[in-house]
Chain A
Amino acid sequence: MYDTPLTEADVSTEDAKILARNVQVHYGTTHAIKDVSVAIGDKAVTAFIGPSGCGKSTFLRCLNRMNDTIDACRVRGTILLDGDDIYHRRVDPVQLRARVGMVFQKPNPFPKSVYDNVAYGPRIHGLANSRADLDRIVEKSLRRAALWEEVKDRLSAPGTGLSGGQQQRLCIARAVATEPEVLLMDEPCSALDPIATAQIEDLIYELRDRFSVVIVTHSMQQAARISQKTAFFHLGHLVEFGETGQIFTNPQDPRTESYITGRIG
């Protein structure tokens, strides 16, 4: 059973938001992702877990073509978003990224005001027709990120002046402001304290209603609390993918079991 890579049969193609098939990623001569196929559901949270350097971030960045910005990176295979190949010649990565948003490990607010941070995406994509419209989008996004109450009186203060947890929620607000369909999060809580982490987790749990969320995390508890599906990566392979409950209680692969019980890390 183990060591057989997941076949396409294991990947349910119905109601999948993103469908990846036989994805290979090379950084120069490093083979970072080895033949990964996975289906990411809509309106659900999918967690990627696995030891450091196993390729979680690399795979996540394939889903919005952020790897295009790295010269040495080569991606092969197919990734479909709503059935369309995102690596097709005619797809503009800039437009793709408006549909597939991303939140990074370290909060990275722009050196602009809170308002301008959130308004950045809508302005670029021309989502607002008027100032009032933009105000509404900013407020809605900040409310979705559970930050509105804390910053509504200082929208013109610099975003970099907020606390770490607030900064990360600002980044989430910034990402949801462009109304993406998928939200990719790469260890969004690893730079935060437990209270801020709990706030972000609550937030992700709520975001699930509207978005398809993919989150990379190093915390098993976090994956167990907030995700419906979990994928375990190891050395560039997708070792196991399934219902979160099943992965944590009844893993099929011994490598998964070793990892979740803390023997490989």
Chain B
Amino acid sequence: MPVTWLIPSILLLALIGYWAGRARALAVAGGDTRALHSLPGHHGGHVALFASAPALALLVVWLLTQPFVINGRVAELIPDSANSATGEGPSAALMMSEVRRVAAGLDLAVREGVITAGQADSPRTGADDMRAWLAGVGVALGGETGPWVLPAAQRYRALSATGHLMMTIAVIALSAAGLAGALRRVRPQFRARDVTERAVKAGLFAAASIAILTTLGIVLSLVFNTIEFLRLYPAVDFFFGLTWAPSFGGGSELGILPLLWGTLSISVIALAVATPIGLFAAVYLSEYATPAIRAFAKPLLEVLAGIPTTVYGLFALQIVGPLLVSAFGEGGVLGVTWMGSGTAAMTAGLVLGVMLIPFISSLSDDIINAVPQTLRDGSLSLGATRSETIRQVVLPAALPGIAGAILLAASRAIGETMIVVLGAGAAARLSLNPFEAMTTITAKIVSQLTGDTDFSSPEALVAFALGMTLFVLTLALNALALYIVRTYREQYE
């Protein structure tokens, strides 16, 4: 039975268990649910749980371990000579995948009726037959396939088939045993509710762990590749190098400082745009706007947050860049020549700032709304005007939250890629002129990993080191945001 059928079967057993458990609970109680410690539904849930959870766990473990066991057994048939024939012959892993490909081809041939199962598994089958069959179902083999491939593939098929059969039997048996065992435990005093409560807790815990483990996995993959990179490239040159000039031929200079500088410049410009505008918009929306205006303007502002960043990037490239050039560029209205081309830190920063406005305004609006009305009343009743009240009471009370919102926006700015790629250019440059092209860490991560990449070269691995730096940077920002919010809370609550 394929796995796609096994899982529904277990769930069906669980469903049967649920109804059986319920029915049995009602039966042992003589139809009076008050005689039961737990509700019949809890008993049903308990039986369903024992019918499904252990069986599913076994299924997962089996599926994870079976390939290892089979690979081990099949590897015995792969001659060492294949490895050592030439200096750099195909690795064992490559040969293993060849075996798997042949086995899968045979499966397909049997399924399509080209051959019978007996033919596929017959030891008399020759390599030429095999080649013909596989070609018949559209599986092409590599030019040189050793004679050992076919027996290995046949053993692979046989082992897989038995393994699968054993798994099906074991899983179904475990499911049925769990069902029967749990059903026998149904008594009026049995605390089925506690079992289901614990199951709920375990399920929620598992969900939380997956989120945390994923983060951990991401960090670990970054860490290992970063370490690998730092073995190939000196850390001092990476962290303090003033030039970014990768060349896949070798002799790259991979200094992070120009990228860091670009990231920081663009983020600072973006925040300088987004913070005041976003904050004023939030104050207007929460303190001055009539309900009608608010109902109209708030969703509109939030639509801005839903625009894909690529579209913002196009906007930067097509409109903002040329507009800035016509003001700050050669022959522009201001008569200065600060700006050479449309792609510049300023272009990307401004557009990134526009993208962050709804982010800051929406968060700040919620925070300002959370400031208790009694504080506003207190200030107004002392004869303060509305704007005095906002400046002196509402905003100070909302400040920790607003600071948190700004820092969150800052980590968004640092992590943004598309606007930067399209708006800021690609030149990694340490320049004090924001009207010049710059580039950021994120943009360079993309460009280092696009195209044909050899993942063992420092030019590709540097992407992980850059990613790690980015991760540490945003983590520090978020930690700072939390710290600020906490200290303020302690002070005023």
> By the criterion CB–CB under 8 Å, are B382 and A121 in contact?
yes
Q: How far is the CA of A133 from the CA of B380 in the complex (A)?
A: 24
A198 within 8 A of B: no
B381 within 8 A of A: yes
Total A residues in contact with B, Cβ cutoff 8 Å: 28
Give the residue among B377, B378, B379 with the most A Cβ atoms within 10 A. Answer: B378
A247 within 8 A of B: no
Residue in B291, B375, B385 whose CB lies within 8 Å of A108: B375
> By the criterion CB–CB under 8 Å, are B397 and A124 in contact?
no
Residue in B closest to A123 when the chains form the complex, CB atoms: B392
Residue in A94, A106, A111 whose CB lies within 8 Å of B383: A94
> By the criterion CB–CB under 8 Å, are B382 and A178 in contact?
yes
Residue in B closest to A66 when the chains form the complex, CB atoms: B381
Min CB gap B379→A, angstroms = 7
A102 within 8 A of B: yes
Size category of the binding interface on chain B: 20 to 34
Q: Which of A103-154 contact B (CB under 8 A)?
A: 104, 106, 108-112, 120-121, 124-125
B235 within 8 A of A: no
Q: How far is the CA of A121 from the CA of B385 in the complex (A)?
A: 11
> By the criterion CB–CB under 8 Å, are A111 and B492 in contact?
yes
Contact partners of B384 in chain A: CB under 8 A: 94, 120-121, 124
> By the criterion CB–CB under 8 Å, are B381 and A102 in contact?
yes
Q: How far is the CA of A69 from the CA of B291 in the complex (A)?
A: 14
> By the criterion CB–CB under 8 Å, are B382 and A66 in contact?
no
B374 within 8 A of A: yes
Contact partners of B372 in chain A: CB under 8 A: 108
Min CB gap B438→A, angstroms = 40
B396 within 8 A of A: yes
Q: A158-B491, A158-B492 are in contact. Are A110 and B375 (CB under 8 A)?
A: yes
> By the criterion CB–CB under 8 Å, are B378 and A108 in contact?
yes
Q: How far is the CA of A104 from the CA of B493 in the complex (A)?
A: 19
Min CB gap A26→B, angstroms = 18
Contact partners of A94 in chain B: CB under 8 A: 383-385
Contact partners of B493 in chain A: CB under 8 A: 160
> By the criterion CB–CB under 8 Å, are B380 and A66 in contact?
yes
> By the criterion CB–CB under 8 Å, are B374 and A104 in contact?
yes
> By the criterion CB–CB under 8 Å, are B375 and A178 in contact?
no
B388 within 8 A of A: yes
> By the criterion CB–CB under 8 Å, are B383 and A104 in contact?
no
Residue in A112, A121, A171 whose CB lies within 8 Å of B396: A112
Give the residue among B375, B379, B382, B393 with the most A Cβ atoms within 10 A. Answer: B382
Q: How far is the CA of A71 from the CA of B294 in the complex (A)?
A: 14
Q: Which of A91-108 contact B (CB under 8 A)?
A: 94-98, 101-102, 104, 106, 108
Contact partners of A98 in chain B: CB under 8 A: 382-383
A174 within 8 A of B: yes
A64 within 8 A of B: yes
Q: How far is the CA of A51 from the CA of B420 in the complex (A)?
A: 64
Min CB gap B390→A, angstroms = 13
Q: A120-B382, A120-B392, A121-B383 are in contact. Are A104 and B377 (CB under 8 A)?
A: yes
Q: Mark B379-406, 1 if CB is under 8 A from A, else 0.
A: 1111111001000110011000000000
> By the criterion CB–CB under 8 Å, are A101 and B492 in contact?
no
Contact partners of B492 in chain A: CB under 8 A: 111, 158, 160
> By the criterion CB–CB under 8 Å, are A101 and B380 in contact?
no
> By the criterion CB–CB under 8 Å, are B378 and A104 in contact?
yes
A79 within 8 A of B: no
Give the residue among A69, A110, A171, A174 with the most B Cβ atoms within 10 A. Answer: A110
Residue in B closest to A121 when the chains form the complex, CB atoms: B382
A260 within 8 A of B: no
Q: How far is the CA of A111 from the CA of B493 in the complex (A)?
A: 8
Contact partners of B381 in chain A: CB under 8 A: 64, 66, 97, 101-102, 104, 175
Min CB gap A253→B, angstroms = 32
Q: A94-B384, A158-B491 are in contact. Are A110 and B379 (CB under 8 A)?
A: yes
Contact partners of B383 in chain A: CB under 8 A: 94-98, 121, 124-125, 178
Q: How far is the CA of A71 from the CA of B292 in the complex (A)?
A: 12
> By the criterion CB–CB under 8 Å, are A124 and B382 in contact?
yes
Q: How far is the CA of A172 from the CA of B491 in the complex (A)?
A: 22
Q: Which of A162-192 contact B (CB under 8 A)?
A: 171, 174-175, 178
Q: How far is the CA of A109 from the CA of B372 in the complex (A)?
A: 11
Min CB gap A185→B, angstroms = 11
Contact partners of B375 in chain A: CB under 8 A: 108, 110-111
> By the criterion CB–CB under 8 Å, are A120 and B379 in contact?
yes
Contact partners of B380 in chain A: CB under 8 A: 66, 69, 97
Q: How far is the CA of A121 from the CA of B378 in the complex (A)?
A: 10
Q: A110-B393, A110-B397, A111-B396 are in contact. Are A174 and B382 (CB under 8 A)?
A: yes
Min CB gap B175→A, angstroms = 59
Q: How far is the CA of A28 from the CA of B493 in the complex (A)?
A: 36
Contact partners of B290 in chain A: CB under 8 A: 71
Residue in B closest to A159 when the chains form the complex, CB atoms: B492
Min CB gap A138→B, angstroms = 14
Min CB gap A134→B, angstroms = 15
Q: How far is the CA of A68 from the CA of B103 in the complex (A)?
A: 82
Q: How far is the CA of A69 from the CA of B288 in the complex (A)?
A: 11
Contact partners of B385 in chain A: CB under 8 A: 94
> By the criterion CB–CB under 8 Å, are B491 and A175 in contact?
no
Contact partners of A102 in chain B: CB under 8 A: 377, 381
Q: Mark B264-293, 1 if CB is under 8 A from A, else 0.
A: 000000000000000000000000001100
Q: Mark A68-101, 1 if CB is under 8 A from B, else 0.
A: 0101000000000000000000000011111001
Contact partners of B376 in chain A: CB under 8 A: 69
Q: How far is the CA of A104 from the CA of B381 in the complex (A)?
A: 10
Contact partners of A120 in chain B: CB under 8 A: 379, 382, 384, 392
Q: Which 10 A-B pairs rank lowest in CB-CB distance, beginning with the nearest?
A: A98-B383, A102-B381, A108-B374, A97-B383, A111-B492, A121-B382, A108-B378, A111-B397, A160-B492, A124-B384
Extra inter-chain contacts (8) besides given A120-B392, A124-B382, CB under 8 Å: A69-B377, A104-B378, A108-B377, A111-B396, A111-B492, A112-B396, A120-B384, A121-B384
Please report B residues at the A interface, Cβ cutoff 8 Å.
Answer: 290-291, 372, 374-385, 388, 392-393, 396-397, 491-493
Please report A residues at the B interface, Cβ cutoff 8 Å.
Answer: 64, 66, 69, 71, 94-98, 101-102, 104, 106, 108-112, 120-121, 124-125, 158, 160, 171, 174-175, 178
A-B contact pairs, 27 of them (CB 8 A): A64-B381, A69-B376, A69-B377, A94-B384, A94-B385, A97-B380, A97-B383, A98-B382, A98-B383, A102-B377, A102-B381, A106-B374, A108-B374, A110-B379, A110-B392, A110-B397, A111-B396, A111-B491, A112-B396, A120-B384, A120-B392, A124-B384, A158-B492, A160-B492, A174-B382, A178-B382, A178-B383
